[in-house]
Amino acid sequence: MRRHRGYINLGINLGLLACISVTSSAMAADAPSVHVYNWYDYIGPNTLHDFQRDSGIQPVYDTFDSAEVLEGKLMTSRSGYDVVVASNYSLPTLIKAGALAPLPREQLPGWKNLDNDLLKKLANNDPGNQYAVPYLWGTNGIGYNVDKVRAALGDKAPVDSWDLVFNEDNLARLGQCGVAMLDSPSEMLPVALHYLGLPPNSTDPEDYKKAEALLLKLRPHIAYFNSSKFISDLSNGNICVAVGWSGAMLEAKTNAEQAGNGVKIAYSLPKEGAPVWFDTLVLLKDAPNRTQGLAFIDYLLRPEVIAPVSEHLSYPNGNRAATPLVAAATRDNPAVYPSASAMATLYTLEPLPKATERVRTRVWSKVKNGQ
């Protein structure tokens, strides 16, 4: 499952990380090492340096920019990596393929710090929580321009509900100021199904016909489907509503504030429920440096280590003991750390049988083309 990882600074960050990786590779010849594969721009600025200082283990750090790249690397050959950051959506595939090693909890003393409620949700993709440690997580919801939505729908605009974008009357009016949605059938179709009262991970083709009918009715009022363009468009006031990832909406808000352009952005987690996703730390079955890999995972389980990562990236982490160490402005922001009542409404997404995936692909193609 894709999520925003600093698209604007992609070139700079990848170049920097490439240099780190080359330097690390050279140094690793004379020191214990751990080979880590993570999304670009998705770790604290000092985390790797501090890990080496505290453990004496040299991190060799490489990055990827899509879940497809990650799965391709892990499924086709011995990757040479020890620890990988994998989405909860990818876990069933990787587990079934035998790519992951079960995690020995006795070698992870920091496991006790994890949030049990989050572990229960993650268990939908990793039964028994055998293979994955939650790293960072987030939600899919609605980002919106406060003033433009109020102008279009009035003070009682249902900004706390999926009715904002799935009710045709509302969307027709919002379409005048611009509405965008993720270009992702695996993320958008489950939301539409859930809105209709159907299982978000349905395998029934008839359910997808109903979701298709809903989205085709709304299609004339949707400006575009894209998984990155909406961030700058929202922060610049070019659109007024977007369906996407929590972190991306917070970036749009921050960009607008830094630009001083008067655009006020808010993020809503609809009351009916929404997808929750996890990026997890996993140990590969063929990890060449198993002991060092476990040491790296346990290092990130330290509250004082993961709290600054959340602070830097504006994503919550899976470590209950770290929450008090995160700045109040971040931990008290419901767009970052949802309330307990909101958490109870969240659901995880699951890989579906190939036949269902083909159905979803055909439906999405029709929706995007408007026919």
Separation between Cα atoms, residue 362 and residue 369, nearest integer Å: 11
Instruction: Give residues with Cβ within 8 angstroms of 144, minimum separation 6.
Output: 159, 164, 240, 241, 242, 265, 266, 267, 268
Looking at residue 351, its pLDDT comes to: 87
3-state secondary structure 232-244: HHHHHCCCCEEEE
Looking at residue 65, its pLDDT comes to: 81
Is the separation of the CB atoms in 280 and 87 below 8 Å?
Answer: yes
Residue 309 half-sphere exposure toward CB, CA atoms < 13 A: 23
Q: What is the pLDDT along the chain (371 residues), one digit of tens a residue?
A: 444 443 333 333 444 444 444 444 444 456 899 999 999 889 999 999 999 999 999 999 999 887 778 888 888 768 999 999 999 999 999 999 999 999 999 999 999 999 999 999 999 999 999 999 999 999 999 999 999 999 999 999 999 999 999 999 999 999 999 999 999 999 999 999 999 999 999 999 999 999 999 999 999 999 999 988 999 999 999 999 999 999 889 989 999 999 999 999 999 999 999 999 999 999 999 999 999 999 999 999 999 999 999 988 889 999 999 999 999 988 999 989 999 999 999 999 998 999 999 999 999 999 999 97
Domains and their CATH numbers in the chain = 7-138+277-343 (3.40.190.10), 140-275+349-369 (3.40.190.10)
Q: How far apart are the first and last CA of the chain?
A: 26
Angle between helix axes 303-313 and 290-300 (nearest 10 degrees) is 70
Tell the residue number behind the tokens 């987030």, with chain if given: 138
Looking at residue 29, its pLDDT comes to: 53
Separation between Cα atoms, residue 310 and residue 329, nearest integer Å: 12
The model carries a pTM of: 0.84
Looking at residue 175, its pLDDT comes to: 98
* Biggest CA-to-CA distance, the chain: 66
